């Protein structure tokens, strides 16, 4: 028995994990979510801004991490729209422009058609240069951004005319998949310029690296799909009528927590099983001398 487990082909583990994720996806298993202090801090940061505040939405992710980050990006945009903030989108990732366009299509064009491009929201697009871009836009945005992502002169866009730099933003909302991302926004914008406040949503890989910045340099953080589900639930509770069910696209993170739950149960079981087999084998070897 011990030999069977210790020599088990790893592909059986892959298959088990595949099934543990695929079956909940197929049957759309969902479990209740409750919010944590960090997701509540993200919610409060946007909620307490006066309507019409300038918010910079920096979407630094690409399709590779879309599954993890798109639900929180969707919720951030929806929350800002519900509060009638002025949204400035930008990205430091080449494919981030498509992620911004997706969020605009899914949320603003679909559910807030009264919002006007150039007056209520603008897509500044992508600029290469990693953290160098952040260093420039904190002092002079128009030095880098002469046009928006559509090629329109930035001085012809009403909400950009009087915009000198990003220090006039009331809040930076960053959705980050790696470098450059939340860490760089904290290092080059939020830490040296105390008047800038930032909240971030990030991938699971990044979350552990960002916790040291909480709460002084980073008041709110959504860690991976769990953080997204918590924040999504807070936004749904605040902005979905009590007698209505939220639209399916505003429940994506909660839906993706179903496979997480089952896969984590499997992992815990495998870790316990592996350790049990290891210690029993060691005890057996000791008895044999």
Partner 1 sequence: MDRRKLWAAAWLAFAIYLLYRATLGAGSTYVMESDNGNWVYADPVEYVAGGAVFSPIRTLGVWIAALLTLCVLSYMYRDNPYYRFAEAVIVGVSAAYAMVVAFWSALIPNLFGELWPAFIQSWAIPGLSAEHRENWWLSFIPLVLGAMLLWRLAPRGSWIARWPLAFIVGTTAGVRLIGYIDADFVSQIRATMLPLIVRTAEAGTIDWGQSLQNTLIVFGVLSALVYFLFSVEHKGLAGRVARVGTWVLMIAFGAAFGYTVMGRIALLAIRFEFLFDDWLWLIDPLERRDGIL
Interface with partner 1 by CB under 8 A: which range of 40-48, 144-152, 231-239, 277-285?
A: 144-152
Q: Which is nearer to partner 1, 46 or 190 (CB)?
A: 190
Q: Which is nearer to partner 1, 3 or 216 (CB)?
A: 216
Does 158 contact partner 1 by CB under 8 A?
A: no
Does 95 contact partner 1 by CB under 8 A?
A: yes
Interface with partner 1 by CB under 8 A: which range of 18-26, 72-80, 162-170, 280-288?
A: 18-26
**Among 2, 6, 116, 156, contact with partner 1 (rule: CB under 8 A):** 156
- In 3D space, the residue among 135, 130, 62, 53 whose CA is nearest the CA of residue 88 turns out to be 53
Element (DSSP H or E) covering residue 287: helix 252-288
Nearest approach, Cβ of 235 to partner 1 (angstroms)? 18
Does 66 contact partner 1 by CB under 8 A?
A: yes
Does 115 contact partner 1 by CB under 8 A?
A: no
30 in Cβ contact with 287 (< 8 Å): no
Does 275 contact partner 1 by CB under 8 A?
A: no
91 in Cβ contact with 181 (< 8 Å): no
Cα distance between residue 137 and residue 174, in whole Å = 15
Please report which residue ranges of 33-112 form alpha helices under DSSP H: 37-47, 66-82, 96-103, 110-111
- In 3D space, the residue among 33, 54, 86 whose CA is nearest the CA of residue 228 turns out to be 33
Give the number of residues in contact with partner 1, rule: CB under 8 A.
Answer: 68
Look up residue 30 and give its DSSP letter: -
**Among 50, 151, 241, 289, contact with partner 1 (rule: CB under 8 A):** 151
Query: Which of 153-157's residues contact partners 24+ apart within 8 Å by CB, and which partners?
Result: 154/124, 157/118, 157/122
Cα distance between residue 276 and residue 282, in whole Å = 10
Nearest approach, Cβ of 26 to partner 1 (angstroms)? 6
Does 21 contact partner 1 by CB under 8 A?
A: yes
The SS3 of residue 141 is helix
Cα distance between residue 146 and residue 105, in whole Å = 24
Q: Which is nearer to partner 1, 78 or 83 (CB)?
A: 78
Please report which residue ranges of 191-251 form alpha helices under DSSP H: 204-210, 224-239
Q: Which is nearer to partner 1, 73 or 224 (CB)?
A: 224
Does 184 contact partner 1 by CB under 8 A?
A: yes
Cα distance between residue 252 and residue 117, in whole Å = 26
CA dist 102 → 71, 109, 177, 244 (Å): 11, 10, 16, 25
Q: Which is nearer to partner 1, 43 or 185 (CB)?
A: 185
| Residue 232: φ, ψ to 5° | -60, -40
Q: Which is nearer to partner 1, 85 or 176 (CB)?
A: 176
- Chain residues binding partner 1 by CB under 8 A are 11, 14, 17-18, 21-22, 24-26, 28, 64-68, 94-95, 97, 105, 109, 125-129, 131-132, 135, 144, 146-148, 150-153, 155-156, 184, 186-188, 191-192, 203-205, 207-209, 212-213, 216-217, 223-226, 248-249, 252, 255-256, 259-260, 263-264, 267
């Amino acid at each position: 028995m011990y030999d069977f487990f210790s020599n088990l082909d790893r592909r059986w583990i892959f298959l088990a994990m595949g099934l543990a994720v695929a079956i909940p996806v197929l049957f759309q298993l969902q479990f209740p979510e409750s919010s944590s202090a960090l997701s509540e801090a993200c919610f409060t940061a946007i909620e307490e801004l006066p309507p019409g505040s300038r918010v910079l939405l920096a979407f630094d992710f690409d399709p590779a991490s879309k599954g993890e980050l798109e639900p929180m990006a969707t919720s951030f945009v929806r929350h800002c729209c519900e509060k009638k903030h002025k949204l400035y989108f930008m990205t430091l990732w080449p494919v981030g422009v498509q992620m911004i366009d997706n969020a605009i299509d899914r949320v603003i064009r679909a559910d807030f058609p009264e919002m006007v491009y150039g007056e209520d929201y603008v897509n500044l697009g992508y600029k290469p240069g990693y953290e160098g871009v952040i260093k420039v836009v904190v002092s002079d945005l128009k030095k880098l951004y002469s046009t928006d992502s559509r090629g329109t002169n930035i001085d012809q866009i009403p909400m950009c005319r009087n915009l000198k730099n990003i220090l006039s933003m009331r809040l930076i909302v960053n959705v980050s998949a790696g470098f450059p991302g939340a860490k760089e926004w904290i290092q080059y914008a939020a830490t040296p310029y105390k008047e800038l406040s930032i909240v971030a949503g990030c991938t699971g890989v990044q979350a552990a690296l960002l916790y040291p910045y909480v709460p002084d340099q980073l008041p709110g953080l959504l860690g991976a799909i769990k953080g997204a589900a918590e924040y999504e639930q807070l936004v749904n509770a605040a902005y979905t009528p009590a007698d209505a069910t939220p639209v399916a696209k505003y429940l994506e993170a909660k839906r993706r927590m179903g496979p997480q739950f089952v896969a984590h149960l499997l992992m815990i079981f495998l870790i316990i099983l592996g350790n049990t087999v290891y210690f029993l084998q060691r005890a057996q070897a000791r008895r044999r001398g």
